Each structure stands twice: as structure tokens, then as C-alpha cells.
Amino acid sequence: MAILRKRFFPGAAAQAALVSILLASSAAAADPSPPAVTPSERDAGVLREMNAAVTRLAAKVSPAVVQVQVTGYGLAAEPGRNETAYVARQRGLASGVIVAPDGYILTNYHVVHGSQRIQVVLAAPAKGAKPAANAASRRIFTAHLVGVDPNVDLAVLKIEANGLAFLPLEGSERVREGELVLAVGSPEGLASSVTMGIVSSADRQVDITQPMTFIQTDAPINPGNSGGPLVDVNGVLVGINTFILSQSGGSQGLGFAIPAPLARFVYQSLRKHGRIHRIEVGATIQAITPPLAAGLHLPRDWGVVISDVGLGSAARAAGIASGDVIESFDGRPINDMAAITSAIYLHEVDKPVALGILRGNERLTFSINAPEVTRSTDQLLDAADPAKDLIRKLGIVGIDVSSKLKGTIAPLRIGKGVVVAGRTLDATSLDSGLQAGDVIHAVNGAEVDSVERLRGLLAAIQPGEAVAMQIERQGKLLYLAFDME
């Protein structure tokens, strides 16, 4: 489109003013003092300073960001045969962040779930940079899984290295809406990719049925960024990037990260105990909005309300009811979903919860004897004896199917077998594709009815010979095939 320019012809008064300006300009040119900085030059200086600051920030953070390469097995359907389920070898690439110099790494649970082999690729040193004297000399390490928390979608890995660049999980200050942040990771396998944006929300509840809240950011996050760090302008780790909301599969400005205070608690628990010890109150909660408060005649239009109380739950036994507004948890004020999530995780197991409730205009306090959350895999490990039930060739701890497992595993298609209670970290074991909870029913057509029987069948198979193992996984019968090593 053409741009129309209107010519301007000044009148006599304007001409005189213009002559005065030109004379002043000539006098300024003759003055040996330096010219004044124009606004455009000042703006350029600000941009240069910002550019240098972002460059320094990326250089500070990137060495602590790693690629996480996983190999495992998953269900794959043969085209045109939907009724047939196969277990196929699968590979994936994601990100992680080193949080301790001796090789502890945080990533997402969904990144490593079902993996048989995890490798960590360290960032390449910057050009001209000299590594620390005790820094790792290798770039690729085999990692073992320290522990996971599926509810928060976090996992802790460990590699055998020291002197690593890391981002500490020390600060507890929460980010604020509008803050500048950087997301670092390996989208589509492109290592140390850096994107910048702002915090769209510091406390976003994505699913109203879950108390978990996230940092929402418009910093572009794409597949492969999962597990990477979200940092503020000081290079402080404020979150772990975990997922995006997208119709196209790419970034649409809706990225979400697990807040650092929650990530720190999970990391410390997994590093110390290997699993999370937390309680189950038995109540569903959601954030209060003004329309919800008006419709239910709640005493406040902000905070957290109980929307459901589970049948047979500790909350129901204590007298908690739907519509109750949570005012405090163990004496901590509850103003939003993030506060209740933190309070649940920080509560000591085996101690009653002191829950402050607003019910209409009445303030009430309840004592809830909330039990510890236990996963079926935790119960399986509790029922196993690693010294007696270890099956070294498969790298698993197995338990005979018996009445003592009633309530721990679902009813089986075949009533005999060996349940995989957990996997070991023995690097000499087979990459078989077994997962915790699988039930082994047969090896090369021979029935398996005990751990001893399984050991005997495996011992008779020579290195290099094929193994076809019939297993049951989530109610489906599958075959796993591999060569004996």
C-alpha cells in the first residue's frame, strides 16, 4: 500500500522560527563539548544491556541443564489389528536439571516412566571455558533412578560424577505474576535451547479435581523441554517445566512448571527415603471464584473450598462436609491452592491434621487422623524380601502369587505366577522390559508358579538363546522377547 506524504510549507513566522533553530544547531556544532545522547541512542543502550544480561544468564544456567535419553518398552498396536497388543522398544528425549554437584538430577516422572535404560548427556562446555579441576571428563552417563512421585510428576536421577555445574534448590520465594523467566531444555533434541517469557500466573490450578498448582508461563515450551528448569532473571531455579496445553503439539504460550518449593520437598524426600511419605485426607478441594462463592453463599470469594468428601475417608469420619471453606491447615493460613498443596506435603505422617474450617459464619476446628498414601508398588516392595526374592538375571525382585497379595494386585487372568515387586539397579541384568506390577506366567512356554521355578528356567537358558516370556500387565496378556545375556 502506497504511503501518502503531505508537503508542509511554513508561513513567515514559522520560517523565522526555523532559521533560529538552524542557527542554534550551527552553534552547537561549533561547540567542542560532546553532543547530547538522543532518546534512540539511550534506548539502544538499554537493549544492549538487556541483551548482555540475558546472554550472561543463559551462560550461567545452561551448563546445569542435561538431556535425558530413555529407552524402554510400551504397548504398540499392529496397523489393521487393533485387537493385538505388542510390547515394542521405544526411545525418548527430554530434559533435566542438575541440582547437586555430585550428580543428582531432577526431571519429570512421565519422562522416565517405564524406562529400562536412562542416559544423561551433559551440556557441552562453552567455547574457551575451562572446566573445574574436579569436573566430569565424560559427557554421557548411565543414570539410575533414585525415586519418583507420580502425583507431582517428578523423578530424581543419579549419575556417578562430581564437580558438576548445578542449580541449587534452596530458595523458597515464590514467583510473581509478570516476572521475566527463562525456560531451558532440549526441545526436539536441540540441547540447551533457551526461551524467554513472563509468568502468566504464579498459582494456576489446571484440574479442579486436583490440588496441584503450577506456574504458568508464556515462555515457549515444546516437546523435549519436560524436566528442564524455569529460572528467574537472577538465574534462580523457580520451577521444573512439565507440560504444555496445545492443539498443534507446539508452544501456544501455555506452558506449566512445578513450583520450586514443592520440587525441593519432593527432591529431599526422594533422595533421603526413595519415596514420598504423605497423607491422604480424603477430600476433594478446588479454588473459590466469585461466581462460585455467590452461588453457594460462601463466607468469602477467595481461598479453597471442599467440593467432595470420600466415602469411608478420614475427612468424612472427622465430620468434614462439602461446602466447607478451609481457613487453616496445621495452623498455616490457607489462601490459595498452592498453600494447601504445600501443607499436605509438609505434614508429618502419623500425626493428626488440625483443619480450620469456615462453615457459614461459624469457625470450626477438626482433628483428622489421615492415613499415609501408599501405592500398590510400595505395598509390593513391603511384602518382598530383597535378599530372598531377588532374580538377578532379570534385575527384579519377585514375589510368588499367593493369598498374602490379596488387595495389593488386581484379580489375575491366570492364578499362578511371579509378581514383579520392583526393579534393581544391577547393570548386569537383562533389559527385559519388565515393570513393577507385571506378573510373569511362563518362560518359553514353561509355566512359572514360583520364584524358584523362574530362577531354574532362566538358569537353563544359555547366553544368546531367545527368551519369550508371557506376562500379565493391567489385565492384558503380553509377550516379552529378548536374548539371554
110 tagged catalytic: yes
Active site residue 153: yes
Nine cell digits for residue 356 = 480450620
Active site residue 149: no
CA–CA dist 52, 154 (Å, integer): 33
CA dist 50 and 146 (Å) reads 39
Q: Which of 226, 313, 429, 432 is catalytic?
A: 226
Contacts of 266 (CB under 8 A, 6+ apart): 149, 152, 154, 276, 345
* CB of 437 closer than 8 Å to CB of 377: yes
**Which residue, 182, 172, 219, is CA-closest to 338?**
172
| CA–centroid distance for 319 within its chain | 35
DSSP 8-state code for residue 404: G
**Is residue 78 classed as helix, strand or coil in its secondary structure?**
strand
Question: Any idea what DSSP says for residue 187?
Answer: G
Which residue intervals of 361-412 are DSSP H helices? 376-383, 386-389
Question: Residue 123: helix, strand or coil by DSSP?
Answer: coil
For residues 236, 195, 102, 140, the Cα torsion angle rounded to the nearest 10 degrees is 180
Distance CA 10, CA 6 (A): 13
Q: Which of 95, 115, 149, 153 is catalytic?
A: 153
Catalytic center residues: 110, 153, 226
